[in-house]
Every structure is written in C-alpha cells, then in structure tokens.
Amino acid sequence: MIETWVEAVSTYARDVDNLILLIGVLVGFWFILCEAVFFGFIIKFRHRPGQKAQYVTGEEKSQKRWISIPHLLVLVCDVFIIVGAVQVWYTIKQNLPEAEQTVRVVGQQWAWTFVHPGKDGKLDTADDIALVDELHVQANTTYHYLLESRDVLHNFSVPVFRLKQDAVPGRTITGWFNAQKTGQWDVQCAEICGIGHGIMGARIFVESPDEHAAFIASHSQAAPVAVATASGR
Amino acid sequence: MAETVHPAEQAAHGEHHEEGWVKKYLFSTDHKIIAMQYLFTGMAMGLIGAFFAYVFRMQLAFPGMEVPFFGVVSANEYNSLITNHGAIMIFWVAMPVLIAAFGNFLIPLMIGADDMVFPRINRLSYQIFFISALVLLASFFVEGGGFGGAWTAYPPLSANAAYSLTPMGATLWLVAVALEFVAFLLGGINFVTTLMNSRTKGMGIYDIPMVLWMIIIASILFMASVGPLIAGAVMLFMDQQVGTHFYDPTRGGDPLLWQHLFWFFGHPEVYVVLLPAMGIVADIMPVFARKKLFAYRTILWTAIGTGVLSFTVWAHHQFIAGIDPRMAHVFTITTLLISIPIAEMCFVYIATLYGGSIRLNTPMLWALAFVAEFLIGGVTGIFLGASGADIYFHDTYFVLAHFHYTFFPIAIIGTYAGVTFWFPKMFGRMMNDTLGKIHFWGTIIPFNLIFIPLFVLGAAGQHRRIYDFTNYPMLAEPWMQDLRVLATVSLVVMLAFQLVFFYNVIVSLVRGEKAGKNPWKSNTLEWTTESPPPHGNFGDQYPTVYRPPYEYSHPDREEDYWPQNLPN
C-alpha cells in the first residue's frame, strides 16, 4: 500500500508495509461491514406513516448475540494485529543485528550533522567525516546509528526506510538499518523543534561500494570538521 | 435519590426573578445561564480556532501568500497558529461545550432538580474558565508572540525561552491551560455530586439518561487523570520562570518525564470529550428512531470499561520517543484492547436503528453522521496503536487526519447534534429544519474533502508541523500540492457554510415556531417543563420517575413514547 507513494528501501520496509496491509484488510472489512449495515438500516427502517417501530430492549441473550459475536470476532482480529505489530517492532527496534558500519546522527536547531567513519572505518578518530544535512551510506550494509540531540527533541525520520526515532538530549539512542537500493531520498525531522522545524530536512545518499569508497576518499583530503563531532562536547 | 431543596428554598428561587441584567446574565448561579455562558464562550473560541486553521491551511496550500485578513505567515506565527488551534479546540471548545454547557444545562433538568448542588462553585468555575480564555488570548500579543511548541508542549523546547523564542507566550499558555483545569475540576465535582444526590423521586441509576452517565464518567476520568499533569505543569512553569531543571538533561532532569505526565492525562482526555458526544448521540437516536436504546446496561458498562482502560494506553503516543522498546508491546496490547468497548458501542448504536421508524430531522442527521464519521476515526486508530505500523505513521498527516476524524465528530458534529436537538428547550423556539439540513450537508461533505486527502498525504510520508513543504523534494510533488489545495478550499467552503447555522439561530430566535413543552415527543424529564424552563426548572412540583428513559413504541401503549414521569 505504502509503496505506491514511497519506495521501500530498507530490509524491514516491506515488513512495515505488509503489517499496514494486514491491518488495512482487517479493519477495512469491519469498516465496510459496519457502514453497509448502518446505512442499510437507515434506508430500510425509515419512517412510514402508520407503522410503529419495534420494541427491542437489547437486554435478552438472543438479542445481545448480535453484539457479542461480532465483538468476539473483533477481538480475534486484534490478536492477529498484535502479533504482526510485535514482530515488526521487534525486528526494527528491539533486535540489534551486528554492525558493519556505524554513523553518528546529531540533531540540533535546525540542522542534522552526520558523522561518518573515515578510511579506518571507525568513529571518533581523526579522519571522521562530518557533514551537515548529508548522510552517505553503502548499500547492503548493516549500519548502526548513534542518535543524539544538542538542544531540544528532534526525530530522525527516513520515510523510505520506514524508520523514525526521537533524538533526546542527554541520551545516545542506538538503532539500525540496512539499505537495499542505491539512490538519494529525504531525511526529515519529525518532532517539532522550534521556528526552523520546517527547514530541518536532509538527504540520504545510498551508494554502491565503489561510489562510497570514492565519497570517503574525496572527503579524506580535507581537514576533519571538528566542530560537528559529538565527542567534542 | 433524595430531593435536596426544600420547598421554602424553592419559593426563594421564584423571587430571584427580578434581578438586573448584569446580575442575571453575567453573575448568575442558575445552571441554565451558566450553561449558556459556557456554550457561547466555547463557540466564540471555536471561531478563533477555526480562523487559525484557515490561516495555516492557506499557507500550506499557497506557501508565502498574503493570507486575506491575516497577511504573510512567518514560521513562528505558523507554529503558534497550529499550537493554539489544537489547544483552543480541545480545551476551550470541546470541553466547555460538551461537558460544561451540556452538563450544566441537562443534569438538573434531566434528573428533575432545580439547580446544581453547588451553584456558587458552578459560577466560580465559569469565571475561572473565562479568565483562562482571556489569558490565552493575551498570550498572542506579548513579546515574541504566542507559544509555538505544539499543544503537547514537549520540553526542552517548551521549558527554555532560548529554544522556543517565546519567553512570555509559553508561560501565559501554560497558565491558561492550568486555569482551565481548575475550572473543570470545580465543574466536575459539581456534576458528580449533583447526579449522585439530587435525583428526583423514583429515578434509579438505570433510569438516568445516557448522556448524563457519559458526562459524569468523563468528569471522573478528567479529575482522575489531570493531577499528574498539573504537577507536571508546575514543574514546567518553574523551569520556564524560576530556573529549575526538572526537564533539562544537562542538569540531571529528564524531558521524557513530561511526556509521561502529559499523556497520562492526554489519552484519557480523548475519552473525556468523546463520551459526552457519544451520550448526546445515544439520547438523540432513540427519539428519532422511536426505538428503545439497545442494551442500555451494556453501553454503560462498556463506557466505564473504556474509561478504566484509557488509563493504561498513554505510551502509545511515545512508541518512538526513546522509551524502552520492550514497553511498546504492552502498550500495543492495551491500545488494541480498547478497540473492543468502542467497537461494541458502535455496534449498539447500529442495533438501535434496527426495527426503528427513522425520521431524518436535522438533529438525527448529525447523530447519524457522528457514527458514520467516527467509525473512520476509530478504524484508522488501529494503524497507529500497532507499534510496528506506528514507526512509519508517527507524526505524519495520517495521525492528524485520524484524530480529526475523532475530534471533529466529537466537538463539531456532537455539538451541532446537541444544539439542534435541545435548542427548542433552551430558547423555546424551533430551528428551521431546511436551513439546518443545508448547514448539515455544507459541513459534512467539505469535512470529508478536507481530511481524506490528508490521509493520503500522511501515508505518502508528509510529516506534521511543517510550514512549507517545498523544502522537501519528496513532498513537493505537484499531485501532493493539489491535495493540499483541495483540503484548504474544502475548509474555506465548510467555514462559509457555518454562516447558515448562525443565520438560522438568529432567525429562529426571533421568528421560529413556538416549541411548546415537548416538540420531539421525547421521554426524558427536561421535556416535561416549559420551554425555556423557568428559574427553578419545574415550578412547585418536582416530577416523579416511573420508568427508564427510552421506552419508545412500547407494545402496551398506543402512543409511541412514554415519558418517564407519567404514572401509566
């Protein structure tokens, strides 16, 4: 459903889409059924002169069945949705696969700073590459992101990954993603963070191994941008 | 069950009639006048909230334009407009109209009492509410402008003027909200006590009209949930003005504390406004379907169940806020469980129509529209309560469209249902049904055309509280902008149709057909007295109750209604 509008780029994007589809089918069924019966009754039982309405209390067992059976079926649907939701949530947020690469993502009013490891492949060394509003990652690689905020709440949101996580000042929140396609897409800040919230967008560049190596090489000549590293606080 | 007022006191009520205009209408202790004060103040605030929506929707559809009656919208004005639109519509429209106005007007009339048990606390409640509205309005005109940190007011943004850039606006906003809470705590005490103690002879607990139960349950939910938030608000105020660091992580505080305190109140608050609207609908449907309300006790117990469950779901607003990921499972389960009682209530409403003799007068159209539209709000909530799906939908326009499909039926449709139904009792004259229907369709059709496009935009990844989407390449596609324009144009059309309502009210007040005591042939006690009811409500004879409130089309009776106060 979601892929009509937003590409599915991460390994877990399809899981989220399928869960949304499952919920859509289950609640869609109930929604259409309820509205159909509802409008059906309005048409069928509209006022006709001289015809009295029926007297139904709804307190007898045979009448209550019309409520209690659908209500049990709704409960069954809920169980399916809960199971699906828990599985997807576990995959994305609770489970943390081994990292092949790690990036630091720092939100501050009103820009993102992305700290990439340099040639040595490690963060917090002299050759780190810190860029404002540009995140470069290699496709088919499991990344950990270390999410921080310098001031207020922000939210690191990458719609094509189906990923969102609040950045909370005073904490470092670790999560993961693995991009499956090369290309460039939007990164949003999805938590209101003040006057500049509307302009706090960034771009993510998912690159092939060659492209990514070229990116690292081209940024290794320049001196590291010390201002932006979180360890400099 | 006892009558609380002695006949002597009641005679005194009669003498109070000859008061001056100021005493009678501005400082009255009469529950009906206080109800009108709440109703008109709520509606006036509603116009302000609607104007805010118009301004920021114009900015979204036509970024950078000079909005008629406002001017160019700056980023901080935009934030302030959305923040205060939300706060006004919930705290200064939905609550005063649905709980305070209908609660004050209906409780004594429907239980056969002459007034609330604490009339002076009632007057104080309105006065504090009125001051809270003035404080909120004042916050727009101070240095730095009104508060713009969203109605949820998450710190550190809301706690520190260096971040929010609204040093006075943020504090005035917080004070206004706190005063509003005080007003509703006072009102709630009054509602609960009155219903428990002042019921007329013969009215057992299952003879109470459903709308009163709902208002009482809502008042109890409010009183039980607001305490933590008041504590939170005091800490936020101290962070803003005294220099404490309750929410400042650099000094040992924790910003997430506020979110828990806020949503522990904030989620029950949804049901605080939902239940009275559901009650209004439950009272209107039987009258126009000439049908007994299906399974009265089931509705009552599911409403209580919903209320209890609503205290266990708050962290579904915080799935991705940095809480322990294992917590999300618990809140997913509780959140989906709350769909059970709500679904059951919808089933009951549908079952009430079965076998009826349905008349589509304006109040009934509103009541039916409530069910039809609220269903959309209900089912879309499941996507958001399921943690895995919420990762994608969180803070998108899908959330926004979802809660407008709940709050619009509650605050707007529910209000119009109640006002058009009880207008004859409030003012003694009928409203024009044709104008009422024009207003109905002119509201409902544009309403759907505003928010269905916003569901699509949200599913396409459009996130909230952004004043200009052209900054985001993925959100700047022409078809998305077309949907934004459609939503905005629909809003303007819908607002224009509200003029029909105000015209109808004025014309009906002056020239409307006299209503008489019971124009809808309804059973409940408010229809047994004059329209409008005199001071003291029932003259010198209180009604006695002989049966439950929804005995329509009873087989033992020729007439298709059976008022509660008739001996046989």
**Token pair 């009669």: residue:** B14
Looking at residue B539, what is its pLDDT? 87
CB contact under 8 A, B320 and A168: no
Residues B47-94 pLDDT 10s: 999 999 999 999 999 999 999 999 999 999 999 999 999 999 999 999
**Residue B366 distance to chain A (closest CA, Å):** 13
Q: Can you tell me the distance from the alpha carbon of A148 to that of B508, in angstroms, rounded to the nearest whole number?
A: 60
Q: Can you tell me the distance from the alpha carbon of B331 to that of B390, in angstroms, rounded to the nearest whole number?
A: 12
- Taking residue A231's Cβ as centre, other Cβ atoms within 10 Å add up to 10
Looking at residue A200, what is its pLDDT? 95
- Taking residue A72's Cβ as centre, other Cβ atoms within 10 Å add up to 10
Task: Select from B128, B163, B171 the least CA-distant residue to B146.
Answer: B171
pLDDT of B12 above 90: no
What DSSP designation does B532 have? Answer: S
> What DSSP assignment string belongs to B431-489?
PPHHHHHHHHHHHHHHHHHHHHHHHHHHHTTPBSS-S-GGG-GGG--HHHHHHHHHHHH
**Residue B128 distance to chain A (closest CA, Å):** 31
Residue B14 resides in a domain: no
Residue A188 touches partner B, C-beta closer than 8 Å: yes
> What DSSP assignment string belongs to A70-113?
HHHHHHHHHHHHHHHHHHHHIIIII--PPPSEEEEEEEETTEEE
B345, closest residue in chain A (CA to CA): A67
Least confident among B12-16, B368-372, B379-383: B12-16
CA-to-CA dists, residue B293 to B296, B309, B378, B418, angstroms: 6, 24, 22, 17
CB contact under 8 A, B387 and A166: no
Which pTM does this prediction carry? Answer: 0.94
Residue B501 resides in a domain: yes
> What DSSP assignment string belongs to B474-516?
GG--HHHHHHHHHHHHHHHHHHHHHHHHHHHHHHHHHHPPB--
∠ CA B501-B507-B510, rounded to 5°: 140
Looking at residue B541, what is its pLDDT? 87
pLDDT of B293 above 80: yes
Residues A39-98 pLDDT 10s: 999 999 999 998 889 999 888 888 888 988 998 999 999 999 999 999 999 999 999 999
Residue B43 resides in a domain: yes
CB contact under 8 A, A169 and B255: yes
Residues of B in contact with A86 (CB under 8 A): 329, 332, 387-388
Q: Which residues pair with residue B514 across a beta bridge?
A: B429
Number of domains in chain B: 1
How many cross-chain Cβ pairs, A to B, lie less than 8 Å apart?
290
A185, closest residue in chain B (CA to CA): B474
Please, what CATH class does the domain formed by A101-232 belong to? mainly beta
**Token pair 């009104």: residue:** B146
Here the tokens at position B93 are 């429209």
Looking at residue B568, what is its pLDDT? 81
Q: What are phi and psi of A166, to 5 degrees?
A: -70, 140
Q: Look over chain B and give the mean of its residue pLDDT values, rounded to a whole number.
A: 94
Q: Can you tell me the distance from the alpha carbon of B168 to that of B541, in angstroms, rounded to the nearest whole number?
A: 54
Reported confidence tier of residue A225, pLDDT bands at 50, 70, 90 = low
Three-state DSSP string of A169-207: CCCCEEEEEEECCCEEEEEEECCCCCHHHHHCCEEEEEE
**Residue A131 distance to chain B (closest CA, Å):** 19
Q: Can you tell me the distance from the alpha carbon of A39 to that of A32, in angstroms, rounded to the nearest whole number?
A: 11
Looking at residue B22, what is its pLDDT? 81
Residue A139 touches partner B, C-beta closer than 8 Å: no
CB contact under 8 A, A186 and B392: no
pLDDT of B117 above 60: yes
Looking at residue B83, what is its pLDDT? 97
Task: Select from A138, A135, A97 the least CA-distant residue to A121.
Answer: A138
Least confident among A122-126, B179-183, B312-316: A122-126
Residues A166-189 pLDDT 10s: 999 999 999 999 999 999 999 999
Predicted-complex ipTM score = 0.93
**Residue B118 distance to chain A (closest CA, Å):** 36
CB contact under 8 A, A166 and B321: yes
CB contact under 8 A, A195 and B163: no
pLDDT of B4 above 90: no
pLDDT of B18 above 80: no
Residue A213 touches partner B, C-beta closer than 8 Å: no
> Count H helices, E strands: chain A?
3, 10
A30, closest residue in chain B (CA to CA): B379
CB contact under 8 A, A168 and B554: no
Q: Cα-Cα-Cα-Cα dihedral of A83, A87, A88, A92, to 10°? A: 150
CB contact under 8 A, B320 and A195: no
**Token pair 């003259």: residue:** B539
pLDDT of B360 above 70: yes
Residue B103 resides in a domain: yes
**What is the residue extent of each domain of chain A?**
7-94, 101-232
Q: What's CA A196's distance to the chain center, in Å? A: 22
Q: Look over chain A and give the mean of its residue pLDDT values, rounded to a whole number.
A: 92
Reported confidence tier of residue B25, pLDDT bands at 50, 70, 90 = confident
CB contact under 8 A, B368 and A191: no
CB contact under 8 A, A188 and B560: no
What is the strand order of the sheet A154-158 is part of?
A134-138, A202-207, A183-189, A154-158, A163-167
Q: What are phi and psi of A183, to 5 degrees?
A: 150, -175
Q: Can you tell me the distance from the alpha carbon of B551 to that of B522, in angstroms, rounded to the nearest whole number?
A: 10
pLDDT of B385 above 90: yes
**Residue A211 distance to chain B (closest CA, Å):** 23
Residue B346 resides in a domain: yes
B455, closest residue in chain A (CA to CA): A2
Looking at residue B2, what is its pLDDT? 42
pLDDT of B523 above 70: yes
pLDDT of A153 above 70: yes
CB contact under 8 A, A71 and B340: yes
Percentage of the residues of chain A whose pLDDT score is greater than 70: 94
pLDDT of A226 above 80: no
pLDDT of A232 above 70: no
Instruction: Please state the length of chain A.
Output: 233
Looking at residue A28, what is its pLDDT? 96
pLDDT of A231 above 80: no
Percentage of the residues of chain B whose pLDDT score is greater than 70: 97
CB contact under 8 A, A89 and B472: no
What mean pLDDT comes out for the span B35-48? 97
Residues B217-244 pLDDT 10s: 999 999 999 999 999 999 999 999 999 9
- Taking residue B134's Cβ as centre, other Cβ atoms within 10 Å add up to 11
Range of the domain at B467: 33-528
Residues of A in contact with B292 (CB under 8 A): 55-58
Q: Which residues pair with residue B72 across a beta bridge?
A: B66
Residue B548 resides in a domain: no
B155, closest residue in chain A (CA to CA): A152
